[in-house]
């Protein structure tokens, strides 16, 4: 290919040593030898999830096909069905999937332990496989950490980073002369002032178990609570009880009826129909709020960073990425696809469509600034949230089970059970889970 084989081998050895030694350090490699058409003629099969990032990506896949000369077949399914199909195929050792879209906040450690991710470190270091413009360092530190396993192996290329923000009705706030709360202490009185049933409910948050576990850290973290401490369950701390109490009492008193089983669609439907004043959830729902065909509150929604608390200022973030299957028979070719999907060009397209990405440069790109799809405060809130981003869920194998455990505790709390009691049970179950599945 041009580069003398000897020097490339020694380079790879050096990098491998570096990987074994600690977190991956990107060293710019010699820019020769890379070509998109290297695996011309090969066929790839992708398993993708129904997700706004993928919706934009799918439209441009033919561009990749002409760029690389490869044929790409893919299947897009809702997240749970996609994971089900993945499980069946990987368990059956089918080798039928080359690359897939992975929700790291659910799958990171689980898939790693099952050996389903193919580590991308070697590929990233290989100049002949990685385009010189790729620039791994362009990804935010949070995004990079999110896709890296404890042993340094990189399981996926970060695509979409979801941050939690504070949605509020500018018009209702303005009418009462209110501004978004800077701290959690300000939150409750604010919600109370806005609560005017049945026309308006003060606040809506997810109540449905498992689903609520990704929004709960919006209150848990600022209250100083956390899920793990030194690898042990930390659900019985004072801070945790205070956080659960706040989350559940807000919903009990100021949430719409039935909120205990609200998933994002009930929450966002209530918000978009103008029934709720405040909603805290993933930044992604915003594109619907501003769509006149779907929302009655177009132009009335304000976006702010989540309030801080005694424990600090955080926004729970969740990362999804493009990964290569360890059972693929065309791993390098699949890697080319994942690389293209998370390239600077593609990320700009995503952000222009209103989908937040894990690359820093994208946010400052001229194209995005020229044609903003979302209101200015959305970009501000999103970027600011990424800066205070913190992984919302524990990076453990049994994370789904953890979500069910804390999720049920929250639901019981919403229906009136005392926080300390439900947390005691949750703590027991969680520690039991850790004993069983970690280590």
Partner 1 sequence: MVRGGAWRRRLSTAGFYALAAVFMLPTIFVFYWMLTLSLKPQIEATAYPPSFVRFTVTLAGYREVFTKYPFFLYTWNSLVVATGCTLLGLAVGLPAAYSIARWKQQRLAVVILVARIIPGIAYLIPWYIFFRSLRMVDTYGALILTHLIVGLPIIIWVMISFFEDVPSDLEDAALIDGCSQLGVFWRIALPLVKPGVVATAILSFVFSWNNFLFSVILAGRQTRTLPIAVYNMISYEEINWGTLAAAATLITLPVLVVALLAQRHIVTGLTFGAVKQ
Partner 2 sequence: MSLGRHAHRHAQWLFPAPAVLLVAVIIVYPIVYTGWMSLQEWFASSLTRPRFIGLANYGKILLGDPRFREAVVRTLYFTLIAVAAETLLGVAMALLFNREFWGRGLLRTLAILPMVATPTAIALVFVMMYHPTLGVANYLVTTLGLAPFRWTYSSSTALYALALVDVWQWTPLIMLIALAGLASLPREPYEAAHLDGATARQAFWHITLPLLRPTLVVAILFRAIDALKTFDIIFVMTQGGPANATETINLLLFNQAFSYFNMGYAASMAVALFAIVLGSSLILIKVRRSTAW
295 binds, among partner 1, partner 2, none (CB under 5 to 8 A by kind): partner 1
Q: Which stretch binds partner 1 (CB under 8 A): 75-83, 116-124, 363-371, 415-423?
A: 75-83
CA atoms within 13 A on the CB side of 375: 18
**Which member of 287, 365, 383, 431 binds partner 1 (CB under 8 A)?**
287
- Distance in Å, CB of 66 to partner 2, minimum: 34
Q: Measuring CA to CA, which residue among 398, 322, 394 is closest to residue 113?
A: 398
196 touches partner 1 by CB under 8 A: no
370 touches partner 1 by CB under 8 A: no
Buried b (16+ CB within 10 A) or exposed e, 410-433: bbbbbeeeebeebbeebbebbeeb
366 touches partner 1 by CB under 8 A: no
78 binds, among partner 2, partner 1, none (CB under 5 to 8 A by kind): partner 1
Contact 308, 184 (CB under 8 A): yes
Stated as kind and residue range, the H or E segment containing 160 is: strand 157-169
How many residues comprise the chain? Answer: 439
- Distance in Å, CB of 262 to partner 2, minimum: 7
Structure tokens belonging to residue 75: 């299947």
Contact 2, 33 (CB under 8 A): yes
260 binds, among partner 2, partner 1, none (CB under 5 to 8 A by kind): partner 2
- Distance in Å, CB of 34 to partner 1, minimum: 31
Structure tokens belonging to residue 79: 């997240």
Residue 189 CB-density burial (10 A; 0-12 exposed, 13-18 middle, 19+ buried): exposed
Q: Which stretch binds partner 1 (CB under 8 A): 21-29, 166-174, 291-299, 345-353?
A: 291-299
Rg (CA), the chain: 23
Task: Give contact residues for partner 2 (rule: CB under 8 A).
Answer: 80, 83-84, 87, 90-91, 93, 110, 113-116, 198, 201, 207-211, 256-263, 265-266, 269-270, 273, 275, 326-327, 397-398, 400-401, 404, 407-408, 411-412, 415, 437
Residue with Cβ nearer partner 2 (200 or 365) = 200
Buried b (16+ CB within 10 A) or exposed e, 297-328: beebbbbbbbbbbebebbbbbbbbbbbbbebb
Phi and psi dihedrals of 413, rounded to 5?
Answer: -60, -40
89 binds, among partner 1, partner 2, none (CB under 5 to 8 A by kind): partner 1
**Which member of 79, 135, 171, 186 binds partner 1 (CB under 8 A)?**
79
- Distance in Å, CB of 51 to partner 2, minimum: 18
**Which member of 296, 369, 387, 436 binds partner 1 (CB under 8 A)?**
296
Binding flags for partner 1, 89-108, as an x/- string (CB under 8 A): x-xx-x-x------------
Residues 6+ apart with CB under 8 A from 83: 103, 106, 107
Strand-strand pairing, 201-204 and 276-282? parallel
Binding flags for partner 1, 24-63, as an x/- string (CB under 8 A): -------------------------xxxx--x--------
- Distance in Å, CB of 89 to partner 2, minimum: 11
288 touches partner 1 by CB under 8 A: yes
Q: Which stretch binds partner 1 (CB under 8 A): 32-40, 72-80, 180-188, 223-231?
A: 72-80
192 touches partner 1 by CB under 8 A: no
CA atoms within 13 A on the CB side of 311: 20
Structure tokens belonging to residue 221: 């973290």
141 touches partner 1 by CB under 8 A: no
268 touches partner 1 by CB under 8 A: yes
Distance, in Å, from the CA atom of 326 to the CA atom of 342, rounded to the nearest integer, reads: 19
Contact 34, 8 (CB under 8 A): no
73 binds, among partner 1, partner 2, none (CB under 5 to 8 A by kind): partner 1
Site for partner 1 in 235-264 (CB under 8 A): 264
Q: Measuring CA to CA, which residue among 98, 154, 58 is closest to residue 336?
A: 98
Residue with Cβ nearer partner 1 (119 or 356) = 356
285 touches partner 1 by CB under 8 A: yes
Distance, in Å, from the CA atom of 65 to the CA atom of 90, rounded to the nearest integer, reads: 26
Strand-strand pairing, 315-324 and 276-282? unpaired
Residue numbers at the binding site for partner 1 (CB under 8 A): 49-52, 55, 73, 75-79, 81, 84-85, 88-89, 91-92, 94, 96, 264-265, 268-269, 272-273, 275, 282, 284-285, 287-288, 291-296
């Amino acid at each position: 290919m041009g580069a003398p084989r000897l020097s490339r081998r020694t380079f790879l050895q050096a990098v491998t040593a570096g990987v074994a030694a600690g977190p991956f350090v990107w060293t710019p490699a010699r820019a020769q030898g890379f070509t998109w058409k290297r695996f011309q003629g090969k066929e790839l099969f992708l398993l993708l999830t129904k997700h706004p990032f993928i919706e934009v990506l799918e439209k441009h896949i033919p561009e990749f096909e002409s760029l690389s000369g490869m044929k790409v077949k893919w299947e897009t399914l809702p997240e749970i069905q996609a994971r089900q199909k993945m499980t069946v195929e990987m368990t059956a050792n089918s080798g039928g999937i080359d690359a897939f879209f992975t929700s790291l906040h659910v799958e990171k450690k689980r898939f790693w332990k099952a050996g389903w991710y193919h580590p991308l470190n070697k590929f990233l270091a290989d100049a002949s496989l990685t385009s010189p413009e790729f620039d791994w360092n362009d990804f935010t530190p949070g995004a990079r950490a999110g896709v890296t396993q404890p042993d340094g192996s990189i399981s996926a290329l970060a695509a979409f980073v979801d941050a939690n923000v504070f949605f509020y009705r500018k018009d209702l706030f303005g009418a009462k002369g209110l501004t978004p709360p800077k701290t959690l202490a300000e939150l409750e009185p604010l919600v109370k002032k806005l609560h005017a049933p049945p026309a308006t409910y003060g606040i809506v948050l997810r109540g449905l178990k498992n689903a609520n576990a990704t929004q709960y850290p919006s209150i848990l973290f600022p209250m100083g609570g956390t899920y793990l401490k030194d690898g042990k369950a930390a659900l019985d701390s004072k801070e945790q009880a205070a956080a659960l109490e706040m989350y559940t009492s807000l919903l009990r008193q100021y949430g719409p009826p039935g909120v205990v089983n609200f998933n994002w669609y009930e929450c966002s439907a209530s918000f978009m129909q103008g029934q709720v004043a405040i909603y805290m959830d993933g930044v992604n729902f915003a594109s619907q709020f501003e769509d006149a065909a779907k929302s009655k509150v177009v132009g009335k929604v304000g976006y702010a960073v989540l309030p801080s608390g005694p424990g600090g200022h955080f926004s729970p973030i969740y990362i999804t990425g493009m990964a290569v299957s360890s059972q693929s028979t065309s791993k390098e070719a699949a890697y080319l696809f994942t690389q293209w999907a998370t390239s600077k060009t593609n990320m700009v397209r995503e952000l222009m469509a209103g989908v937040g990405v894990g690359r820093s440069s994208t946010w400052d790109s001229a194209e995005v600034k020229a044609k903003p799809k979302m209101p200015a405060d959305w970009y501000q809130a999103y970027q600011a949230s990424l800066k205070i981003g913190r992984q919302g869920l524990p990076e453990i194998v049994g994370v789904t089970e953890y979500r069910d455990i804390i999720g049920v505790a929250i639901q019981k709390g919403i229906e009136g059970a005392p926080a300390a009691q439900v947390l005691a049970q949750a703590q027991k179950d969680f520690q039991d889970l850790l004993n069983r599945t970690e280590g």
